Amino acid sequence: MKLGYFPGCSLKGMARAYDESTKIVAEGFGIELMEVDDFNCCGALEAKGSNEKLSYMLPARVMDSAKGRFHVDAIVTPCNGCYHSLLRANAAMNEDSAAKSDVISFLKDVGYGTYEGDIDVRHFLELFYNEVGPEKVKNAVKKSLKGLKVASYYGCLYERPKTITKTGYKSKRDDSENPYFQDELLAATGAEVVKFEAAASCCGGAHALQDESLAATLSAAVLSAAKKAGADILALPCPLCGAALDIKQPEIVKAHGNDAKIPVVYFTQLIGLAMGKSAKDLKLTDPISNPMEILKSKGLV
């Protein structure tokens, strides 16, 4: 299977730790990623509220580039937001013939014109679970994360909504109401995954700028639920949740107190750490919420 890798805008900016740790983990387990380096923004939630056609054209151009240049069978992204946009465009291409012909004529004008809604869209977490899986992770552990209590957080758009996640799927998908792929992968590193009620709740990140106080309240609910569950650290698979829960954490703590103070990392950073990769390469010093302190105290870095 040939895979195109679509990092998305965030991973080339503030969430570079996710981009770099994803590549390290993929390489370590023999997953070859062909980076679509001329990617454009997927349009996120803003395009679909503004213009229906554009909301299909933007993600379609990314998939067209992956297919036209690399002849991929599937495109993988580590971002919940990009994943949503790509799946949504794929669903429209398969269910709405008018949308499909608009998109195809757009791609013929500006791109390769090869994409017709016919490649699989995958989230890196789902791909990694299915192609590698907890067993192989367990066997590859060089430094066990034993003693580290992790809250495994998924965010919203990872397995929702079914109207688009059902379309064009060939691989085994996570449970949409009670996701567990990340839990099992993290448990395979030796870490203790705590039972955590807010695992698939919303961090409010979509309104992090438009409605700051509500977004902070939602984020605080997730962070304090993780802390209450006894977690030392929260791991996640989405750069937008990362921005909301990590970069915004100082503001959240200011408004909601120390109950919401907990280090936040990408799940790929913890898997990389268990593989024996260095904190520097995994950019574990990037998060504002300072995971280095707890990792040091557990003797992991």
Partner 1 sequence: MAENTDKMVIDGVELVGIWKEFMPSRILYEDVTTEFLNEVKKLPGGETIAKCYQCGTCTGGCTLPEFVNKFNPRGFINLVRRGHYDLLVSDYKELVWKCVSCNRCTHRCPKGVNTQEVVRAIAKFLEDRKVFGKLTNDEAFDEVFMDEVINEGRIDEVKIVKDFYAKTGRLKEMMSGDQLSLGFKMFTSGRIKLFGGKIKDWKKVSQRLKEELQ
Instruction: Decide whether 75 or 274 has the Cβ nearer to partner 1.
Output: 75
The CB-of-265 to partner 1 minimum distance in angstroms stands at 15
Q: Which of 104, 132, 202, 223 binds partner 1 (CB under 8 A)?
A: 202
Cα separation, 78 vs 69, whole angstroms: 20
Nearest Cα to 186, choosing from 153, 156, 157?
A: 153
Q: Which of 58, 104, 186, 187 binds partner 1 (CB under 8 A)?
A: 58
Q: Is 157 in the site for partner 1 (CB under 8 A)?
A: yes
Tell me the per-residue interface mask from 168 to 187 with partner 1, x by CB under 8 A, - otherwise.
--------x-----------
Q: Which of 156, 238, 265, 295 binds partner 1 (CB under 8 A)?
A: 156
> How many residues of this chain interact with partner 1, rule: CB under 8 A?
61
Q: Is 288 in the site for partner 1 (CB under 8 A)?
A: yes
Q: Which of 136, 149, 207, 256 binds partner 1 (CB under 8 A)?
A: 207
Neighbours of 249 (CB within 10 A): 23
The CB-of-197 to partner 1 minimum distance in angstroms stands at 13
Token pair in block for residue 38:
């001329």
Nearest Cα to 91, choosing from 161, 157, 35?
A: 161
Instruction: Decide whether 52 or 73 has the Cβ nearer to partner 1.
Output: 52
**By three-state DSSP, how is residue 235 classified?**
strand
Q: Which of 285, 293, 296, 297 binds partner 1 (CB under 8 A)?
A: 285
Q: Distances in Å between the alpha carbon of 235 and those of 8, 232, 268?
A: 19, 10, 9
Contacts of 8 (CB under 8 A, 6+ apart): 39, 41, 42, 77, 78, 79, 81, 82, 239
Looking at residues 106 to 125 of the shown chain, list those that interact with partner 1 (rule: CB under 8 A). 106, 109-111
Looking at residues 5 to 24 of the shown chain, list those that interact with partner 1 (rule: CB under 8 A). 9-10, 12-14, 16
Over the range 70-82, which residues count as b (16 or more CB within 10 Å of their CB) and which as e? bebebbbbbbbbb
Tell me the per-residue interface mask from 60 to 99 with partner 1, x by CB under 8 A, - otherwise.
-x----------------------x---------------
Q: Which of 75, 218, 229, 262 binds partner 1 (CB under 8 A)?
A: 218
Q: Phi, psi (5° rounding) for residue 88?
A: -65, -40
Question: Do the beta carbons of residue 264 and residue 242 sit within 8 Å?
Answer: yes
Nearest Cα to 102, choosing from 4, 43, 110?
A: 110
Nearest Cα to 83, choosing from 241, 222, 234, 197?
A: 241
Cα separation, 65 vs 111, whole angstroms: 7
Report DSSP state, residue 301: -
Instruction: Decide whether 46 or 135 has the Cβ nearer to partner 1.
Output: 46
Interface with partner 1 (CB under 8 A): 9-10, 12-14, 16, 37-41, 43-55, 57-58, 61, 84, 106, 109-111, 156-157, 160-163, 176, 201-202, 204-207, 209-211, 214-215, 217-218, 221, 243, 247, 250-251, 254, 285-286, 288
